Structure 1
Amino acid sequence: MSSGIRTPVTVLGLGLMGSAIAKTFLAAGHPTTVWNRTAAKADALVEIGAKDAASVTEAVGAAPLIVVSLLDDDAVAKVLSAAGPALRGKVLVNLTSSTPEQSRARAEWADVHGVSYVDGAVMAVPQGLGTPDALLLYSGSESGYRTAEPALKALSEKGTYLGADHGRAAAFDAALVSVFWLSLFGVSMGIALAEAEGIRGSELVPFTPALIGLMPGLMAQTAAQVEADHYPADDTTISSAYEAFTTLRTIFAHHGIDTGVLDASGDVFRRALDSGYGADGLGRLVPVLGGGR
């Protein structure tokens, strides 16, 4: 799979992400074989040059690089089991969302079956694949990753190998995506409050870059405090932040907006305060969340 050769690729699973993966490989000139349990999902890809395999075994036999994008780990287990010995000697890159434990268990299965296994996390929406903004994270077999890397560059030039621990990409994914999911609730709550005050959500948009721009610095500062186990209140204390937080909750409650997300966060603040950390910086919330001191 050298950089001078367009590596044949097989894509197993043609949901939104799997279809986007196949399209991106095709656009980059890679001979691409596809398979999906519902065969009709392959039709649009066949029209643009993909080969539709009649079975998982046929699909796996068509290429040295197998990329999997299925619903969950159970689906991956069933499909790989159906492939059987045809997988031996292949490089398998699993881009299905999974837990770190599932990724490590899948790697053990792959080792028994003679497969070079790479676990991956797609930090992009399907339409973002192949663009400069796409980011994919990989961990597991380094030799497998290096072999597949030239082809994987079609999906993301910023693809990053994180190490031999097969669960590492899934762990990075979970940690980073947690920021996204809680931000989604923040966006939803912010617009709900704006609407309750007679403000259109679109009126908030010009002011959001200033807030979003604070996030990289906040993450860097928090990570540094946790790694040093030292929590100076350089910007604010937990006590003062909690006072501002309770005011915010009061505003939401006044409008009858669901405060469940805020209440859960308030419980973390109160645990920190009850433990005597009111004068510490906000980084102290990390070990409180983790059940530590």
Structure 2
Amino acid sequence: MDHHSTSKTPVTLLGLGDMGTALARAYLAAGHPLTVWNRTPGKAEALVREGARTADTAAGAVSVATGPVLLCLLDDASVDEVLAGAELNGKDLVNLTTGTPARARERARRSGERGARLLDGGIMAVPPMIGRPETGGYVFYSGDRELFERHREMLEVPAGAMFVGGDPGHAALYDVALLSAMTGMFAGIAHAFALVNEEKDLDRPRFARLLTDWLGAMAGSGLGMAAQLESGDYTEGVVSNLAMMTAGNRTLLDTAADQSVDPRLLTPYMELMRQRVAQGHGDEGLAGTVGLLGTG
């Protein structure tokens, strides 16, 4: 740690997986006094050599914390288990574990009952992006706004910090929504490569560049969908309507059959499109399919 470390906010970090370790190194590099705990103690050895202190137990780490306690664990159940045996009164908790909005809200409520304040977070970055602002990584935060503002400088050390609302569940909701969109994109990429994979003379690197450029160009359609959902007019600004896209889906399916590719990654969404057209909304864009996904 550098000679300015005593003026920096002390940080306690629970969890030293790949992301937790990246967070730890970012705080050490920025000169924050750091205490770490991990279920497997050996993972802390390298960080100790770099200047971190270790705690024997999670409860012990929390009990001596004089600054925010960050949690970067496997899942919601791991967070609940770790906090169950800790004295939380007067503590500031920052949960950076990927979890559900409902569990985040419940955790904020229970933390408050135990005298603690909680920010829930969703990390939109992979470990190599942590501590490197030029990569564009950031973290969603929601819950106690005053707590966010008090520790903003510390929160911005590993990645950009974006407050998304006083509802403790909103950071997790934003996080999971974006990850869900990413998963759908990966499904499309996998299908695209499956179509071309058996072609002997096809230049895969060139195809990959074309694919990523095309996806980047199409990503802006999310802004138009948001505008339609906001206005309630699903025909606003439509260039390719559902009727046309649904008719075109036949070509996508026929090509998959010709290439001996299973279309299972595409057919569920195609069925939603077909259903919306059957309801008499063929002149709309894709925004109308959003309502078909609701289960309420």
TM-score (norm 1): 0.92
Of residues 226, 246, 249 in structure 1, which corresponds to 2:229? 226
Q: Check conservation: 1:20, 1:126, Cα contact below 8 A.
A: yes
C-alpha distance in 1, partners of 2:82/2:186? 33
Of residues 234, 243, 248 in structure 2, which corresponds to 1:244? 248
C-alpha distance in 1, partners of 2:218/2:118? 34
Q: Would you say 1:258 and 2:262 are equivalent positions?
A: yes
| Aligned-partner residue type, residue 241 of structure 1 | M
Q: Check conservation: 2:120, 2:169, Cα contact below 8 A.
A: yes
Q: Residue 3 of structure 2 aligns with which residue?
A: none
CA shift, 1:52, in A, is: 1.3
CA shift, 1:216, in A, is: 4.2
| Aligned-partner residue type, residue 251 of structure 2 | T
CA shift, 1:291, in A, is: 5.8
Q: Check conservation: 2:59, 2:82, Cα contact below 8 A.
A: no
C-alpha distance in 1, partners of 2:65/2:170? 29
| Aligned-partner residue type, residue 124 of structure 1 | A
User: Once superposed, what is the RMSD of the aligned Cα atoms?
Assistant: 1.8
CA shift, 1:172, in A, is: 0.8
| Aligned-partner residue type, residue 120 of structure 1 | G
Q: Would you say 1:34 and 2:36 are equivalent positions?
A: yes
How many positions carry a matched residue from both structures? 287
Q: Residue 90 of structure 1 aligns with which residue?
A: 91
Corresponding residue SS for 1:260: coil
Q: Would you say 1:62 and 2:68 are equivalent positions?
A: no
Unaligned segments of structure 1, at least 5 residues: none
Q: Would you say 1:114 and 2:118 are equivalent positions?
A: no
Q: Residue 14 of structure 1 aligns with which residue?
A: 16
Corresponding residue SS for 1:204: helix
Of residues 193, 202, 206 in structure 1, which corresponds to 2:205? 202
Q: Residue 104 of structure 1 aligns with which residue?
A: 105
Moved more, 198-207 or 117-126: 198-207
Unaligned segments of structure 2, at least 5 residues: 1-5
Q: Check conservation: 1:88, 1:115, Cα contact below 8 A.
A: yes
CA shift, 1:203, in A, is: 2.1
Q: Check conservation: 1:65, 1:92, Cα contact below 8 A.
A: yes
Q: Residue 50 of structure 1 aligns with which residue?
A: 52
C-alpha distance in 1, partners of 2:257/2:53? 56
* CA deviation vs aligned residue, 1:60-106 (integer Å, no higher than 9, x gap): 113321000111111101100122x2x22121000011111000000
C-alpha distance in 2, partners of 1:59/1:96? 18
| Aligned-partner residue type, residue 45 of structure 1 | L
CA shift, 1:114, in A, is: 0.9
Corresponding residue SS for 2:13: strand
C-alpha distance in 1, partners of 2:295/2:221? 21
* CA deviation vs aligned residue, 1:234-265 (integer Å, no higher than 9, x gap): 21110111122221122122222221111111
C-alpha distance in 1, partners of 2:157/2:17? 19
Q: Would you say 1:271 and 2:275 are equivalent positions?
A: yes
* Identity score, percent: 36
Q: Would you say 1:179 and 2:211 are equivalent positions?
A: no
